[in-house]
Structure 1
């Protein structure tokens, strides 16, 4: 299974706490934030995978704001490609991308095709965060031959220990049935606490936690970019 933690980039202290977890985490980092590049570099050095958490237009935009550098359905192909290029330039450690918000954008086949063709040209894979059931992200990626995968479970949309533990149990069950499973969590204290306490349970259940790229490639490897050598623990100050 793979554990993707979204929304890194703003808080360096919180990111360092997740770096010290004894299991591989896929760090999904928002572009254009204060500590985006530093967190990407630290995660890579400590052996974790890094992907870009690309803001995309949600339903309810602009009242619902996806943040800086968002891809919007009103944009031209050139403008979308420029924003993708800027995000990749800021995070040279990444070889994958998933959507931040994006319920409207990922439902638009034309804009998703432009996005995925560009990612394909850069050697990226795409994870559909599946924030809305009518998302065409995974479907279009498969049609174009872009390596892709879809989120199975959100771990922590209710921020209680009991809920996160319940979702983790569901993830384990799913991994055993399907042979693989992907969860998205967020850098909440409760998520950190439960993952820190339950990693031994995953081992006991015979579940291997791997970088997301391993699931996307079917276990054939992730290449050298985006996965560094595992280092020691970090000072959380």
Structure 2
């Protein structure tokens, strides 16, 4: 007892109490959970074929032409109904009948076999085995050669082919010497183009080229773009060229940025030269390198002088045509571009009836291409 009283309090040892509960083994539980989680992850990697590891993903095409032109895209990929202004396309008029191919020869105004090269997208123009070019073969010959010193005018109507009936109306109303340019998106393009050629019209293919404000301003699917590999743009070009046959050359649809880029435009112009096709610059961009590139690749070329229907009403259109006459009288020739709006077509048809009396000849575009 005495020893107990003399022993320091700090040195006393307590005996464990048998009634006190043991502490919960939290560390062991956490270790077990971690082992299970790691084991489950390893098992998933070994048993499930998922290279993304379960991450959310979405497939996006990197070969898209990045087009935002809904109307042209719909027409290019499936049937579409285009509702026109009833004052522009009056109801009740008898539809024109396009050229019907014969069973034995097919469409006589489609591309000629000797001037066609088969591709994955269809036939595209080429120089024949005898050295003849599509430009020369599909050009509309003049009824009478141009007299020396007599001024000439060529008119190109653009935007045809998407509205079939509107295109057939234009073919019917316009004189044969007017050149018709077809967009590459209509569903009945070949039959409509055949109707144009059977009526004596010369035909161009519109090719969509990148403008400066692309894609806010979008020419349509398969637009040729700056900065892409030349092979990618040529693949698009071949798709466009295969939409129909029988054209003498191409005309740009927009393209201020593309035609100013030698690196992007040069392969296209080289291809046109090697295939014997012409090129018409619509004159919308002063930075276009088309004249130089066409000359370097021996591509028949010309450039438009004036857009006729910037104000699509009869009086301003006739006034613009008067300005075109003045240019022809001054320079010997002039080229005007007009859209396929009914008012534009009607105004050009009316104006053309008096042209010969003024000493000016209306000619297809090939007659003014060098």
Q: TM-score under structure 2 normalisation?
A: 0.57
1:168-179 mapped onto 2 (5 Å cutoff): 168-179=321-332
Three-state SS of the structure 2 residue aligned to 1:157 is coil
Alignment partner of 1:53 is 2:203: no
Alignment partner of 1:183 is 2:336: yes
Cα deviations by residue, 1:30-49 (Å, 9 ceiling, x for unpaired):
11332332221111111101
**Which residue of 2 is the match for residue 5 of structure 1?**
157
Give the whole-Å Cα distance in 2 for the aligned partners of 1:170 and 1:185: 14
Alignment partner of 1:209 is 2:362: yes
Alignment partner of 1:87 is 2:240: yes
Cα deviations by residue, 1:7-54 (Å, 9 ceiling, x for unpaired):
112111111121122342211111133233222111111110111110
Cα deviations by residue, 1:79-124 (Å, 9 ceiling, x for unpaired):
2222222222222111210100111111111211111000111110
Three-state SS of the structure 2 residue aligned to 1:68 is coil
**Which residue of 1 is the match for residue 318 of structure 2?**
165
What are the ranges of 5 or more consecutive residues in structure 2 without an aligned counterpart? 1-152
| Off by >4 Å, runs of 4+ in structure 1 | none
- Please say if residues 127 and 138 of structure 1, whose CA atoms lie closer than 8 Å, have aligned partners that are also in contact: no
**Which residue of 2 is the match for residue 69 of structure 1?**
222
What are the ranges of 5 or more consecutive residues in structure 1 without an aligned counterpart? 218-237
- Please say if residues 8 and 36 of structure 1, whose CA atoms lie closer than 8 Å, have aligned partners that are also in contact: no
- Please say if residues 162 and 185 of structure 2, whose CA atoms lie closer than 8 Å, have aligned partners that are also in contact: no
**Which residue of 2 is the match for residue 224 of structure 1?**
none
Q: Pick one of 181, 190, 194 that aligns with 1:28.
A: 181
Cα deviations by residue, 1:171-208 (Å, 9 ceiling, x for unpaired):
11111111111111001122112112111221111111
Which shows bigger deviation, 107-116 or 31-40? 31-40
Three-state SS of the structure 1 residue aligned to 2:227 is coil
Alignment partner of 1:200 is 2:353: yes
Three-state SS of the structure 2 residue aligned to 1:60 is coil
Distance 1:69 1:33, change over 3 A: farther
Three-state SS of the structure 2 residue aligned to 1:113 is helix
Q: Which has the higher contact order (CA 8 A, sep 6+)?
A: 1
Give the whole-Å Cα distance in 2 for the aligned partners of 1:198 and 1:132: 27
Three-state SS of the structure 2 residue aligned to 1:54 is strand
Which shows bigger deviation, 130-139 or 184-193? 130-139
Output the aligned Cα RMSD: 1.3
Give the whole-Å Cα distance in 2 for the aligned partners of 1:127 and 1:76: 24
